[in-house]
């Protein structure tokens, strides 16, 4: 007889005697995105009157104005600055609470497996998301990431965000990507495309820049994240072939970083141009890291695999951004540049977007990978 274990739980936050579920945060997020309470309610199949009641009740509890309205307007209110901040904070708290709940369940399941005489190792699904390109890429990530994580039972998520502002990312972009569901944000050759990110790189553990850039630059490129006793080491490196020639050798630096601290899993985002350099680093670290993926080219490769000694690998994840584009850039602008026209600031085209990346299935008994699956959400 086949045995199945069903588990269901709901995470809520309490403010005094009042509680907030994920629906409140989602409503505020959609108001912010659609600039209309009415449109947000419709997108959630919710009556406008109910949405209005939820917002007003939340305002009374939190003591913060969540919406601003205009007389005679038909949109039903847009998100106020207080509402945007409250929504971001609420989503972050709910995400952390949900992660604690899932970690608790995994520990209980591990005990059950021990009691049944099964293997001690647990299976963990790690999602790596390709370069987020422009404002439309950030919005698409916000729309798709949480549902993808739920559908694929993702335990830990790394997102490359170096193109969120087309060239670089701003602190607001980083906060939006983190609020969308990323556990870690990695960067690349455009790390300092927006110089205002410098201070955040020094102060934020979940925001990494390539470790082999000059030590005089702000930020760090390796961090160990503790999820209730399970430790994930995330390493961000940049390639030197035709990309960052003055960076430190990523091969020898990886050796040094792997000796710092202890971790159950080690994940490497290698932001590089040359396929040969990515493949070579994969073989060099095979059996010593759980997964290594390439970023930077914005084009997904069809070579996902597990190396002979157990390291999950893919040459490039692809990108998160507009489908009809040249690597996320308006096609007409790109064509004009190849025809010899004047350069200009990169522009995102309008239209539907895609989220590309890969899921690495890892075994805690070995710290290595058992499977790799490409992801393309449109």
Query: Residue-wise over 45-72: b if at least 16 C-beta within 10 A, else e?
Result: eeeeeebbebbeebbeebeeebbeeeee
Catalytic member of 190, 271, 296, 298: 190
Nearest 5°: phi and psi at 311? Answer: -90, 125
CA distances (Å), origin 194, targets 151, 171, 172, 189, 284? 34, 9, 11, 12, 33
Handedness of CA 182, 281, 203, 223 (dihedral sign): positive
Tell me whether residue 140 is one of the annotated catalytic residues: no
- Report the relative pairing of strands 184-186 and 131-132 from DSSP bridges: unpaired
Query: Which residues, other chains included, contact 157 with Cβ-Cβ below 8 Å and sequence gap of 6+?
Result: 126, 127, 128, 129, 145, 149, 181, 182, 183, 184
CA distances (Å), origin 163, targets 138, 193, 321? 10, 9, 10
Catalytic residues: 190
């Amino acid at each position: 007889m086949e045995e199945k274990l069903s588990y269901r739980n709901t995470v809520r936050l309490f403010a005094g005697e009042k509680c907030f579920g994920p629906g409140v945060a989602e409503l505020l997020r959609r108001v912010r995105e659609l600039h209309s309470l009415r449109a947000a309610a419709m997108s959630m199949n919710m009556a406008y009157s109910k949405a209005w009641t939820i917002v007003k009740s939340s305002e009374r509890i939190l003591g913060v104005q969540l919406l601003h309205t205009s007389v005679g307007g038909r949109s039903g209110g847009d998100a106020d600055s207080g509402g945007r901040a409250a929504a971001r904070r609420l989503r972050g708290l709910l995400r952390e609470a949900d992660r604690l709940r899932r970690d608790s369940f995994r520990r209980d399941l591990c005990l059950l497996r021990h009691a049944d005489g099964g293997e001690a190792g647990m299976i963990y699904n790690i999602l790596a998301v390709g370069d987020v390109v422009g404002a439309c890429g950030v919005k698409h990530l916000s729309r798709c990431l949480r549902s993808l994580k739920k559908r694929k039972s993702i335990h830990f998520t790394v997102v490359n965000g170096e193109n969120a502002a087309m060239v670089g990312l701003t602190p607001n972009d980083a906060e939006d990507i983190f609020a969308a569901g990323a556990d870690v944000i990695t960067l690349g050759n455009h790390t300092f495309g927006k110089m205002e990110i410098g201070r955040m790189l020094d102060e934020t553990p979940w925001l990494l820049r390539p470790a082999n850039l000059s030590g005089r630059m702000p930020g760090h490129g390796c961090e160990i994240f503790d999820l209730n006793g399970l430790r994930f080491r995330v390493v961000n490196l940049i390639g030197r072939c035709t990309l960052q020639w003055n960076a430190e050798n990523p091969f020898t630096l990886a050796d040094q970083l792997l000796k710092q601290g202890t971790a159950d899993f080690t994940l490497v985002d290698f932001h590089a141009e040359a396929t040969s350099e990515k493949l070579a680093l994969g073989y060099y670290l095979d059996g010593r890291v759980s997964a290594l993926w390439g970023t930077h080219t914005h084009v997904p490769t069809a070579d996902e695999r597990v190396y002979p000694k157990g390291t999950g690998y893919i040459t490039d994840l692809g990108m998160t951004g507009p489908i009809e584009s040249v690597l996320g850039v308006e096609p007409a602008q790109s064509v004009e540049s190849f025809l010899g026209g004047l350069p200009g600031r990169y522009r995102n085209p309008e239209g539907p977007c895609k989220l590309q990346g890969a899921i690495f299935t890892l075994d805690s008994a070995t710290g290595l990978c058992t499977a790799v699956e490409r992801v393309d959400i449109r």
